[in-house]
Amino acid sequence: VPAEGIPDVRAYPALVGALALGTGIAAAEAAGPSDPHFWSLAAAALAVLALLPGRRRRLVTLRRLRQTVLLAAACAALGGAVTAAHYDLPPRHVARVLPPTGEAEVTLEGVVAHPPVQRPTGIRFRLDAVLLRTDTRAVPVEGRVDVVLGQSSWRPPELYGVPRRGDRLRLTGLLRPPPPKRNPADFDRGRWLRRQGVFATLRVTAAQDVRYFGHHLDPLGRLVEALRRRVTGAFARYLPTDAGRALQTALVLGDRRALEDDVNEAFARTGLTHLLAVSGLHVLLVGLVLYGLLKGVLLRFGLSLRRVDVLRAGLTLAVLVVYALLTGASASVVRAVVMTALLVGADVSQRPSPPLNALGVAAFVVLLIRPTQLFEAGFQLSFAAVAGLIGLGPVLRRAVPARWQRPSGGRWLATTTAATLAATLATMPILLYHFGRLPVGGIGLNLVAIPLTSAVFAAGLLTVLLAPLPALAAPIGASADALARLLVWCAETGDAWLGGLAYEGHVVHGFTLAALVGAVLTLAAWPRRRLRVRMGLVALALAGAGVWAATLRGDARPHLDLVFFDVGQGDALLVRTPRGRTMLVDAGSTESGAARRTILPHLRRYGMKHLDAVVVTHPHDDHEGGVADLLRAGLVRRLYTNGDAFDSDTHRRTLRLADSARVPVQVLRAGDALALDPAIAISVLAPALTDAHPAETNDASLVLRIAHGRHRVLLLGDAQLAAEATLVARYDTLLRSDVIKVGHHGSRTSSSGPLMRAAARPGCTAVVSVAERNVYRLPGPEVVARWRRTCHRTHLTSAHRALWLRSDGRTLGKVAWR
Ligand SMILES: [Zn+2]
């Protein structure tokens, strides 16, 4: 590579090919379902064109350029073909038997494909479907299904046996397509499943619906299982503590199931999560050590040097491939295996291959096997980090003055610091895009934690290898355990001291993201070295400008945002005022985990650092349950209640947490106003101070009205007929509103004729917050029908998911978030 001047792309053909392949994959994913044959034909045609000799008169350089462009286009078309094939389901695929209604009660036979995961919600695993039984017939099927052995909400808890990988099971349950995303900032589990090649889910709710039919594994699967048992057996025997075993299992087998939540959390908050997986670096090191050691061993058999080289290369790769299978073949492990193969191959054939090109080959192989990995954070982080190490590391090290590097310690420090910084810079845009958080405090921690992790890994591996010799394995196991706990201590101490030091903010705009990526690329590869830093700064400034442009462009015009979350059975509404103050009315139930899964991610995603007001309309769990999680997250500035001294665990817990966090709790009454933002008026309509305590807890619900410009929003909580009658008598046409949060989840015990007549403005929107198939059989179909006749639009969260409305005081519109 010339140090100055444009890098020659022909030195890295595989890198160019991988980039083109990725472009094709992204294009096909964006285009939606398409015919794989069309893409394959295009790829073949372009490849043939590239290899045909061009017209002779052309300049040689032009001919080369034409060939490069055509081959890159062929790679892009190939990317389109493999992506289209990923989504093109064969006729016998299990997802194809789903009826148009989208779900069916079925009996499915298949083989457990992965070790199951146990969660509070149930036992989860992937099943390779074999046979589908309906009432009348049994048909052979194929395809992978995401299975949950869960609990029914109205029966006593079911006890399931935990299946093993390779078990053949017959399961009866509800077969559905992967779930849609229900709220703006929710994790899109359905899309994630489809990208993994899972196009159907099965939910089982009774232990009697699970039948065991024997164990079935192919020879390779049996080998992998036997090795896995060896490793876990050695850890169980020689590692004295649970914490040490859990960390070693994560590091050596890539199995994080036994790690405690707060350990995971500490690593995540300090930005050290990448250490909790099987690292590509370790795979590479093991491969090279093995390759080196095998030479001495094989030479003793009196083989020729050439044969020894070929043999040890083959053996090393076979061991690495089995190890990759043992650890679940993550993107970074496959990348490391491919790169080791190229390094070893280069050594055997005496033909060196530039590291960036090796990285390109690895990316090409990974994407060809499963194209949709391109969109996964794991793939992106792994490849960006290595690209950063190769491309950016030397640039940063050269920036350190030579005299500082003269002592060997200084040189080591400069190299490792440059490497850490390079990997951090290269992964920064990806972290901000996927997680919206850049743990700044943890960057320095890597300098200690990375070498420590390698020591932990090496000690763990030695424990497994020496397991047959207890006299050696015992002391090494003890030190492997101690080292593992030292690493956990490092992360936890780092978290306590530096965990809070992080840049938070999602990069959502394409322009900002492109500018950030551009800044990193410029720094690594701008042809004129002296201009690199300056050009990098220009690109960074552009990224900053991107953030401001988004703020200046319309998004920042004062408006009122109302997000009616889909929290299943329950209510949760987020109000963001024109001046950016925030109010949450109810927070969903404890059981749904809506606060953790939906509300907190939403606040983070859209840059809201706290909630100025949290209103609990009444102390039922489907309204108050999620408040505890918000209080624990330290986000609540002030809590408002209806003052009901309700006797429930949820209510006691909420008040206790608010008290210990010193969050003021205030009781609201009709006539009160919440002075959140002068641009809007929030008034409390019910209950009145003079009202007798109602027979129904629901009837004491806080009823709120929000006025912004010409728009009115009425929030009825769970008010029932008695409370509605009082409201109509007291306010009548003052209730008139454009948006109405319908009382008590659309129950028959609410939404009387007089209330609807008083509250509905022409063109109004009625919102019913309710779960599909809930135990209470809500909403009443006739109630929904009446709202449909009265209002312009009736929105059921069960059917239409979350609703995001935006008003500037004159026009009221829906924000498209899907
Ligand atoms: Zn309710």
Centre of ligand 1 to C-alpha 643, Å, is: 17
User: Where is 523: in which H helix or E strand?
Assistant: helix 510-525
Task: Provide the pLDDT for residue 502.
Answer: 73
> How many angstroms separate the CA atoms of 726 and 692, rounded?
12
Pairing of strands 665-667, 639-641: parallel
Question: pLDDT digit string (tens) for 324-369?
Answer: 988 888 888 999 999 999 888 888 888 877 888 889 999 999 999 9
Task: Please check whether residue 801 is in contact with residue 180, taking contact to mean a CB–CB distance below 8 angstroms.
Answer: yes
Centre of ligand 1 to C-alpha 701, Å, is: 10
Centre of ligand 1 to C-alpha 792, Å, is: 24
Strands of 632-675 (E only): list them: 639-641, 665-667, 673-674
Backbone angles phi, psi at 234, to 5 degrees: -65, -40
Centre of ligand 1 to C-alpha 685, Å, is: 18
Distances (CA, A) of 494 to 461, 486, 633: 26, 12, 20
Mean pLDDT of 377-401: 85
> How many angstroms separate the CA atoms of 309 and 299, rounded?
10
Tokens 């769990």 found at = 621
The yes-or-no verdict on residue 532 having pLDDT over 60 is yes
> How many angstroms separate the CA atoms of 654 and 407, rounded?
59
Centre of ligand 1 to C-alpha 611, Å, is: 22
Closest CA to 229 of 217, 241, 214: 217
Task: Provide the pLDDT for residue 557.
Answer: 65
Centre of ligand 1 to C-alpha 621, Å, is: 8
Q: Is 394 exposed, middle or buried (0-12, 13-18, 19+ CB in 10 A)?
A: middle
Asked if the peptide bond before residue 779 counts as cis, ω within 30 degrees of 0, the response is yes
Question: pLDDT digit string (tens) for 695-714?
Answer: 788 999 999 999 999 999 99
Give the 3-state secondary structure of residue 33.
coil
Task: Provide the pLDDT for residue 693.
Answer: 76
Higher pLDDT residue, 536 or 648?
Answer: 648
> How many angstroms separate the CA atoms of 286 and 26, rounded?
34
| First-last CA distance in the chain | 45
Question: pLDDT digit string (tens) for 256-266?
Answer: 888 888 888 88
Mean pLDDT of 506-534: 70
Joined together, the tokens standing for residue 575 give 């109000």
Task: Please check whether residue 586 is in contact with residue 616, taking contact to mean a CB–CB distance below 8 angstroms.
Answer: yes
Centre of ligand 1 to C-alpha 662, Å, is: 27
The full 3-state SS of 382-432, as one line of letters, equals HHHHHHHHHHCHHHHHHCCCHHHHCCHHHHHHHHHHHHHHHHHHHHHHHHH
Pairing of strands 572-576, 582-587: antiparallel
Joined together, the tokens standing for residue 715 give 């929030």
pLDDT level of residue 526 (50, 70, 90 thresholds): low
Mean pLDDT of 519-547: 68
Task: Please check whether residue 88 is in contact with residue 39, taking contact to mean a CB–CB distance below 8 angstroms.
Answer: no
> How many angstroms separate the CA atoms of 591 and 569, rounded?
10
Give the 3-state secondary structure of residue 712.
strand
The yes-or-no verdict on residue 142 having pLDDT over 90 is yes
pLDDT level of residue 5 (50, 70, 90 thresholds): very low
Task: Provide the pLDDT for residue 4.
Answer: 41
DSSP secondary structure letters along 458-477: HHHHHHHHTTT-HHHHHHHH
Mean pLDDT of 741-760: 94
Question: pLDDT digit string (tens) for 799-817?
Answer: 999 999 999 999 999 998 8
Task: Please check whether residue 271 is in contact with residue 508, taking contact to mean a CB–CB distance below 8 angstroms.
Answer: no
Strands of 417-551 (E only): list them: 437-438, 503-504
**% of the chain residues with pLDDT over 90:** 53
Centre of ligand 1 to C-alpha 641, Å, is: 15
Centre of ligand 1 to C-alpha 585, Å, is: 12
Closest CA to 45 of 19, 21, 77, 13: 77
Tokens 């070929």 found at = 310
What is the distance, to the nearest Å, from the Cα of residue 189 to the centroid of all Cα atoms in its chain? 8
Handedness of CA 86, 88, 94, 100 (dihedral sign): positive
Centre of ligand 1 to C-alpha 217, Å, is: 49
Task: Please check whether residue 94 is in contact with residue 142, taking contact to mean a CB–CB distance below 8 angstroms.
Answer: yes
The yes-or-no verdict on residue 651 having pLDDT over 90 is yes
Centre of ligand 1 to C-alpha 577, Å, is: 25
Up-side HSE of residue 713: CA atoms within 13 Å toward CB? 27
In 327-399, which ranges are continuous DSSP H helix?
Answer: 331-349, 355-369, 377-391, 393-398
**Exposure string for 700-709, b = 16+ CB within 10 A, e = fewer:** bbbbbbbebb
Across-strand partners of 146?
Answer: 126, 201
> How many angstroms separate the CA atoms of 761 and 756, rounded?
9
The yes-or-no verdict on residue 107 having pLDDT over 90 is yes
> How many angstroms separate the CA atoms of 807 and 401, rounded?
57
Centre of ligand 1 to C-alpha 185, Å, is: 23
Between CA 766 and CA 773, with CA 767 as vertex, the angle to 5 degrees is: 130
DSSP secondary structure letters along 17-30: HHHHHHHHHHHHHH
Centre of ligand 1 to C-alpha 588, Å, is: 9
Task: Provide the pLDDT for residue 582.
Answer: 96
Question: Side chain identity at 109, as an amino acid letter?
Answer: E
Higher pLDDT residue, 700 or 524?
Answer: 700
Across-strand partners of 639?
Answer: 614, 665
Centre of ligand 1 to C-alpha 43, Å, is: 57
Centre of ligand 1 to C-alpha 157, Å, is: 24
Centre of ligand 1 to C-alpha 6, Å, is: 65
Task: Provide the pLDDT for residue 548.
Answer: 60
Backbone angles phi, psi at 34, to 5 degrees: -145, 170
The full 3-state SS of 215-230, as one line of letters, equals ECCCHHHHHHHHHHHH
Q: Tell me how long the chain is.
A: 818
Centre of ligand 1 to C-alpha 586, Å, is: 9
Task: Provide the pLDDT for residue 10.
Answer: 67
- For all residues of the chain together, what is the average pLDDT? 87
**Exposure string for 81-104, b = 16+ CB within 10 A, e = fewer:** bbbbebbebeeebbbebbeeeeee
Centre of ligand 1 to C-alpha 624, Å, is: 9
Joined together, the tokens standing for residue 784 give 């929904």
Joined together, the tokens standing for residue 162 give 């935990």
Task: Please check whether residue 561 is in contact with residue 586, taking contact to mean a CB–CB distance below 8 angstroms.
Answer: no
Rg (CA), the chain: 31
Centre of ligand 1 to C-alpha 178, Å, is: 28
Q: Is 377 exposed, middle or buried (0-12, 13-18, 19+ CB in 10 A)?
A: middle
Backbone angles phi, psi at 711, to 5 degrees: -95, 145
Q: Of the ranges 2-6, 576-580, 606-610, 701-705, which one carries the lowest mean pLDDT score? A: 2-6
Closest CA to 612 of 657, 575, 586: 575
Question: Side chain identity at 516, as an amino acid letter?
Answer: L
> How many angstroms separate the CA atoms of 333 and 279, rounded?
7
Centre of ligand 1 to C-alpha 218, Å, is: 52
Mean pLDDT of 612-639: 95
Pairing of strands 803-807, 812-814: antiparallel
Centre of ligand 1 to C-alpha 618, Å, is: 8
The yes-or-no verdict on residue 2 having pLDDT over 50 is no
Distances (CA, A) of 9 to 53, 72, 216, 250, 740: 21, 12, 49, 39, 61
Distances (CA, A) of 4 to 74, 390, 527, 532, 620: 30, 17, 5, 11, 69
SS3 content of the chain, % helix, strand, coil (to 5): 50, 15, 30
Ligand 1 (ion): residues with CB under 5 Å are: 622, 718
Tokens 């995603």 found at = 605
Closest CA to 583 of 676, 651, 709: 676
Mean pLDDT of 436-444: 78
Give the 3-state secondary structure of residue 748.
coil
DSSP secondary structure letters along 237-254: HH---HHHHHHHHHHHH-
Centre of ligand 1 to C-alpha 570, Å, is: 5
Higher pLDDT residue, 54 or 384?
Answer: 384
